Structure 1
Amino acid sequence: MNRVSSMLKSALAAGALAAALALPVASAGPADAQDYPSKRLEWTIAFGPGGGNDIMSRTLIDILQKHKLYPENIVAENRAGGSGAVGWGYVFGKKGDPYQISSTSGSFVTTPLQADTPWKPTDFTPIALLASDDLVLLVKGDSEIETVQQFIEAAKKKPPTIGGIGAVNVDFIIPKILSKQAGFDFDYVSFNAAGELNTALLSNSLDAIMANPGEVLGLIESKDMRPLAYSGETTPPALGDVPTLKEAGYEIGVSLPRGLILPPDVPKEAQDWWIETIKKVVETPEWKDYLEKQILTENIRYGEDFRTFLKTTQDRFAEILREQGAIK
């Protein structure tokens, strides 16, 4: 996995620089906290356009604006790089600023395990865990491989190249666990944007990818991609008769946490405001529609319960990655 480690180190160097250059913003004073929110909100998306992180962020922004839940403008910016380290490093550098916000994904937990980031997930101010996200293993639609069993047999003969979002993310952890249980090797290639990942598979640059079902459903329906197995407990109806990895005989047991965080040390009033606002967001029909279309499992934990979840999840991921030899 030297190739992955090299890619991650160079990308994270950019992430560390971004964090170092991010100018800290003074904490809001009592008057600011009392009037919160009264300024433009800057929403950092730590990955490129089109991925699960981007889709969730822009869905939440649309809901906030449509239902007039945030009174000022919201500006979203994709700050991709370093498996999320660039974007979250930027937000970390805005300590005390309640007008900075970001969405989380599996890399929010795994990137600090692999790299020397100046932050860890529990350093941020937690708003809410919103959903859990499982992945689907896919090959190109015209591939000779039609089942996960055929994929494994072919992988034993010739290690495949598998792509995913993030260098040591759930996208990497799932095939790593599968490969160890099934007895094959593979080369992993990380991407920062779903569009680039999908293009790489469709152009025959990859043998397979791990992806969020909602991001590739159209490509599955058009038969440009063929799903082989789903990592969750139960295959969603949208994927038809695709088996779960558990049904194929492999225990995976990890999923991707999607939530919202503010920078460290923001006023408690801002955290409380966001918790109460998100409680309204998750009751909207638009949010329910998003969960259904993106094939997500609603999993809501607010405030400190979310912080505890992040700590527990990181400990679990660290255990898995050490067992698989991905980290020391």
Structure 2
Amino acid sequence: MKHTRIALASAAALMMTLSACGGDSGGGSGGAYPSEDMDWTIAFGPGGGNDIMARTMVDILQRNDLYPENIRVENRDGGSGATGWGYLLNQAGEGYGISTTSGSFITTPLQADTGWEPTDFTPVGLLAADNALMIAAGDAEFQTYDEWVDYATGKGSVVVGGIGTVNVDYIIQQMVADAEGYEIEYVPYNDEGQMQTSLLSGAIDTMISNPGSIMGQIEAGQVTPLLFTGPERLEALPDVPTGEENGVSDLPSMPRGLILPPDAPQEAQDWWVETMQEVVETEEWQAYLDENFLLEDERWGEDFTTYLDETQTAFEEQLTELGAL
């Protein structure tokens, strides 16, 4: 009887070991994916469009109990996003790091030795396109786009700001300047708050911002919108003209997407694609799109990689034409 109990105990232990080994997937220990805390990187400082989107996603995941463990969110800004995405790059092969994308994710590798390209990362999906506003201080001497053009062409050269060095914000500022015939000195920022402070202090003349991150200040009269880059005027800002209306065509939008580290386990990519497809169907996500004036644009998995590759080629051509590359 004693030998029988020992044999049964040994068999049970062996079955538990095999079960644990068979269930350990997704680049970590502790069972089927996901079974660990998630390390969520925001590659820019607080307050901007990337930060708002990331924290909205995390809130939806947690409110709806979609991620079974904790999600640690940290802003790792610097180098036009290179610091944050470089941090994610160092988690290659793992399934417990993640980050949101922006225009800098595509443009930064074009002008800096980042050690990575957008297509190196494991794609989850493109979720939305974020158009932008050109913004002036509320007490600036120019309060409409036409007044801005008169001011800028009269001075010949103006100081303007945006998030990132050679980024969508820079492209917009330079394309408008070229179309209207004035020169710019472009000042890059890593965070929206610093840029707004510079605008309100008069250190820069205009800045680029996304409607979702600046609308409160517009409503408060602290800043004034001059131009919108989207295809049609915003219902919330019916008096603000578009670039198209002023002969500035093909202004780029900000791609809002989600990526995992390079070579992330297949089960991790599959889980995040399926889960984010649930997230974008929630009322909370639809409210976020509406409140932040984003256009729905969904491309999952390898379709997102194809989009990144094609968009980077287009941005490289634009930046070369503008003399930035």
- Tell me the residue number matched to 2:285: 287
Q: Which has the larger radius of gyration?
A: 2
Q: For residues 222 and 240 of structure 1, what CA distance do their matches in structure 2 show?
A: 17
Q: How many residues align?
A: 300
Matched with 1:12 is none
Post-superposition offset of 1:29 = 9.1
Once superposed, which parts of structure 1, at least 4 consecutive aligned residues long, lie more than 6 Å away? none
2:114 corresponding residue in structure 1: 117
2:270, 2:23 → 1: CA distance? 15
Tell me how far apart the structure 1 counterparts of residues 37 and 209 of structure 2 sit (CA, whole Å). Answer: 33
What pairs with 1:76-225 in structure 2 (closer than 5 Å)?
A: 76-158=73-155, 159-225=157-223
Q: Is 2:323 aligned against 1:325?
A: yes
The answer for unaligned runs of 5 or more in structure 2 is: 1-20
Looking at structure 1, the residues matched to 251 and 147 of structure 2 have their Cα atoms a distance apart, in angstroms, of 22
Answer whether contact 2:43 2:78 (CA < 8 A) is retained. yes
Q: Is residue 49 from structure 1 mapped to residue 42 from structure 2 by the alignment?
A: no
**What letter corresponds to residue 173 of structure 2 in structure 1?**
P
Whole-Å separation in 2 of the counterparts to 1:144 and 1:29: 68
One-letter code of the match for 1:321? L
**CA distance 1:314–1:29, shift in 2 (3 Å):** farther
Tell me the alpha carbon deviations over residues 69-110 of structure 1, each in whole angstroms, 9 at most, x when there is no partner: 000000000000000000000001110110000000000000
Structure 1 residue 30: deviation in Å? 7.0
Distance 1:250 1:170 in 2: 15
Decide whether the 8 Å contact of 1:43 with 1:74 is kept in 2: yes
Match of 1:68 among 65, 70, 74: 65
SS of 1:228 mapped into structure 2: strand
Q: TM-score normalized by structure 2?
A: 0.90
Shift of 1:312: 0.3
Structure 1 segment 17-56 matched on structure 2, within 5 A = 31-33=24-26, 35-56=32-53
Report if aligned partners of 1:178, 1:252 keep a CA contact under 8 Å in 2: no
For the structure 1 residues 207 and 29, does the alpha-carbon distance in structure 2 shift closer, same or farther, using more than 3 Å as the test? farther
SS in 1 for 2:195: helix
SS of the equivalent of 1:72 reads coil
SS of equivalent residue, structure 2 residue 244: coil
Structure 2 partner of 1:24: none
Match of 2:301, as an amino acid? G
Q: Which amino acid aligns with 1:314?
A: Q
Give deviations 1:150-184, integer Å, cap 9, x for gaps.
21222122211111111111110011111112111
Identity value in percent = 52
Partner AA of 2:179 in structure 1:
Q
In structure 2, C-alpha distance between the alignment counterparts of 1:181 and 1:92, rounded to whole Å: 38
In 2, the alpha carbon distance for the partners of 1:83 and 1:264 equals: 20
Letter in 1 for 2:47: G
Q: Residue in 2 aligned with 1:247?
A: 245
Alpha-carbon separation, structure 2, partners of 1:232 and 1:282: 22
Q: Which residue of 2 aligns with 1:230?
A: 228
- Paired with 1:170 and 1:163, the residues of 2 have a C-alpha distance of 12
Q: CA deviation at 1:31?
A: 2.1
Structure 1 residue runs of 5 or longer lacking an equivalent are 1-27
Q: Report the TM-score, using the length of structure 1 for normalisation.
A: 0.89
SS of residue matched to 1:180: helix
For 1:35, what is the secondary structure of its paired residue?
A: coil
